[in-house]
Structure 1
Amino acid sequence: MISEFVSMVGAWMQMQGQQLVVEEHASTSQEQAWVSFATLMVIPLFGPWAGTMADRFDRRRILLAVILMQALLAVFVGWKLQAGSLLLWHLIGVGFIMGVTHAFEGPAYSALIPELVPKEKIARAFALDRSVFHTARIVGPALAGLAVARYGLASAFYANAISFIGPLVILFAIPRRPRGTDAEEMQRRTGFLDGWRHVRSDAPTFRMVLISAANAFFCSPFVIVLLTWYGKRTLGLGSGAVGWLMAFAGVGALTASILLLALPHSHREFLVRLGVVVTVISMLMLAAAHGFVLACASILLLTLGLNFLYGISNQIVQERAPDALRGRVSTVAGFSFVAVIPFSGLMSSWLERSFGMRAALLICTVGYAITLAALVFRKSDADPRPAVAV
């Protein structure tokens, strides 16, 4: 857990550093969105193969290869920055390769966690994992701001490369997955579409996938793609203040993951509806904010609401997924984010460029409220308690 935390801190340091680098090199928010597009668009392209491989092959080896490649990419960008020769197209190319690694990392990692804990503890294991992730999300941007101010932008990328040492050691220590029954092993060799059929046929799973897609389409671009642009260009904040803005985004997400650890499953439906209400209110606050304090409060509430929804969605999907299909189910569910966010990032940046950031936030808030009212504020399709995993 400690090594994972250190690695996550490094990842968030690099993410903050990359946003600052792109903001320096890009002349418009759309150029910034294209870098994110290059990273995220390749994930759904490679996703079907990645999900199938996560079910058929040793997930540890997949993650080892992924981590080594990500470390090399971090060193490359740090070196180019230090040499003063980094160009925007370098970031787009690195983003493309990084996206390929993320395509294989997501389903392998999601499928590995349930191998390490009993089935009845899967939900709490994922909630704990998200708590570690979001704690790093608070610490990472703040450390990145300090490191960049003292040592330059390259330091954020070098720190991320070093942070991979712990996970590499842990992965070597994890034993291989024991062989399943003949039926399970045969199911592991079936095609990617079996994962889609499970998601589409299971009403609670499909409902949560649609909610996640709506989050990614209307709201997440303002946290993932445009937050640095919003802080610097809309509010006029400096790099340090933008780092703290990202840290407050982590506080909201961490609060959501801790509450999901503590609250019983019977409260899930209420938390989903609460998450929607909080998200709508916080988007309106973000559109109205003119100062640092209100912007921090708004982004904290926005990530709190979104991560109630993302966290519950992930729990339900993993609880209801058959073990032999878990990698493919994780990939299909992940498409609700990774296949949507590249286009929603471009859409939101186009809205910002055409109408301004505040108008873009208002337009997306209205669209989100209408969509989620249809998905959430009606009788649930089914009790979102876990099915028995095969």
Structure 2
Amino acid sequence: MRLRGFGAARRVLGKGPFRTYTTGNFISLVGTWMQRISVGYLTWELTHSTVWLGLMALADLCPTLIIGPFAGVMADRWSKYRLLISTQALGLLQASLLALFHQIGMLEVILLFSITLILGVINALAQPARLALISSMVSRDLLASAVAVNAISFNLARFLGPAGAGLLIATAGITWSFIANALSYGVMILSLLAMPRETRDTPAPTTRKFGHDLAEGLLYVFRDRATAAVMAVLVVTGICSRPLIEMLPAFSGAVFHGGGPALAALTSSIGIGAVLGGSWISSRQKPGSMTRAMLVTSLIAALGVIAFTAVDTLYLALPVIVCIGFCWVSTSICSQTLLQLGAPDAMRGRVLALYGLIIKAAPAIGAVLAGTLADYFGLRSTVAAGAVIVTLHMIVQLRFAHVISDGLEPKPADG
């Protein structure tokens, strides 16, 4: 796979369906993050309860865990394009209802939870189609750049969305934050409608049962050694090192004694590192191994987490956390690219559905484990121990890197 400087990124964002899709997707992501922050703010205003804050986060996560694999089958059996149009229209409807109910004073916490749960279902249904559609818009040699651009968009939206929500809440009221999200869904729908017909996939009809396709996808992931190895990397890093993000409030208070400003600096630094990591992947000039890049960046991230737990000063922690963010997003982009390239066309939705499930579920599971163990063994020791496990796993994976590269990376004649 050859990526020649930023020329690859420029080519993938040149005139064509991917640029149209990326524009709409980015605006939609900004709106999604605006709503997430607004829902959290409103939940606190209504209840002043950390339990309800946790339940709102659960409403966003649980649908992916339950529906994710089924959504992957839907993305393979049905048109991904039409599935995205439908889910974006439903997203526009739920955001509009939030704005309406809040404006007329009917939005109590139970109703807010219910609509948030509905949005979680919508996002779970859309995610596999959203990821799998990328490969139909770009050539194989530009796929890594397309995935990297997608990751950069996500991380930029993660900062612009909360900032926009805060501005609207402070100046116009929280209703306008929900309205802005509804409008962002409208922009995404328009961008999808503007895409050329040749990018609108039309899967061949199938007479196989839904359960058969679901089982087939799961068996493929577990039986294909290369795919299973990539998934193992994501599971181990997700459970053992990524919970550092959830532990950052504890580090900012108990270790760096900086409270809110320290937390803001740490989370911003992760985002900066993520944008830099996405830019690096999209601008790689030498033909290199996606497999080795995935494993090495995961190893460096684990070592970075160990170093982070050893420092006492915020100013020393910030460059470390930038490095960690850089490596985490690089690992994520490389792994998704490998899965996109290696999965058969008829199986891609199911493979990426499991990828999305792991990306969401593994850090959540790890956060619960880390939070529980930290009460007994201490915050630093717990987080460092998880990173040591990742380090050992990556060393073993590097010894057998050829299993992944031979199975998923394109041969020189194909690239």
Same fold (TM over 0.5): yes
2:156 is aligned to 135
Residues 354-373 of structure 1: pairs in structure 2 closer than 5 A: 357-373=379-395
Contact 2:65 2:361 in 1 (8 A): yes
- Distance across 2 between alignment mates of 1:363 and 1:33: 26
Question: Which residue, 232, 237, 252 being the options, matches 2:259?
Answer: 237
Residues 213-252 of structure 1: pairs in structure 2 closer than 5 A: 213-223=235-245, 225-227=246-248, 231=252, 235-238=257-260, 242-243=263-264, 245-252=266-273
Q: Which has the greater radius of gyration?
A: 2
- Distance across 2 between alignment mates of 1:79 and 1:293: 45
- Distance across 1 between alignment mates of 2:54 and 2:86: 28
- Distance across 2 between alignment mates of 1:70 and 1:31: 22
What's the CA shift for 1:212?
A: 0.8
Q: TM-score of the superposition, structure 1-length normalised?
A: 0.81
Change (3 A) 1:375 1:96: farther
Change (3 A) 1:287 1:262: same
- Distance across 2 between alignment mates of 1:86 and 1:295: 41
Deviations 1:294-329, CA, capped at 9 Å, x for gaps: 454343222212112111110000001111221112
The answer to whether structure 1 residue 177 and structure 2 residue 200 are counterparts is yes
The answer to whether structure 1 residue 59 and structure 2 residue 77 are counterparts is no
1:203 is aligned to 225
Deviations 1:225-260, CA, capped at 9 Å, x for gaps: 45566557875433x765554333222111111111
Structure 2 residue runs without a partner (length 5+):
1-21
The answer to whether structure 1 residue 297 and structure 2 residue 319 are counterparts is yes
CA RMSD of aligned residues (A): 3.7
Change (3 A) 1:177 1:76: closer
2:409 is aligned to 386
Q: Sequence identity, in percent?
A: 24
Change (3 A) 1:20 1:72: same
The answer to whether structure 1 residue 315 and structure 2 residue 320 are counterparts is no
Deviations 1:200-235, CA, capped at 9 Å, x for gaps: 333222211111111221233333x45566557875
What's the CA shift for 1:39?
A: 1.9
- Distance across 1 between alignment mates of 2:302 and 2:213: 39
What's the CA shift for 1:171?
A: 1.6
What's the CA shift for 1:162?
A: 2.6
Contact 2:303 2:391 in 1 (8 A): no
Q: Report which stretch shifted further, 276-285 or 228-237.
A: 228-237
What's the CA shift for 1:270?
A: 3.8
Change (3 A) 1:11 1:387: same
The answer to whether structure 1 residue 329 and structure 2 residue 351 are counterparts is yes
Deviations 1:10-64, CA, capped at 9 Å, x for gaps: 2233344455566775766x76554433322221311232111111222223212
Change (3 A) 1:317 1:8: same
Change (3 A) 1:300 1:71: farther
Give the letter for the 1:161 counterpart.
A
Contact 1:205 1:313 in 2 (8 A): no
Would you say how many aligned residue pairs link Structure 1 and Structure 2? 384
Give the letter for the 1:372 counterpart.
M
Structure 1 residue runs without a partner (length 5+):
none
Q: Report which stretch shifted further, 321-330 or 337-346.
A: 337-346
Q: Report which stretch shifted further, 298-307 or 376-385.
A: 376-385
- Distance across 1 between alignment mates of 2:27 and 2:150: 13
Q: TM-score of the superposition, structure 2-length normalised?
A: 0.77
Change (3 A) 1:185 1:127: farther
Contact 1:252 1:304 in 2 (8 A): yes
2:15 is aligned to none
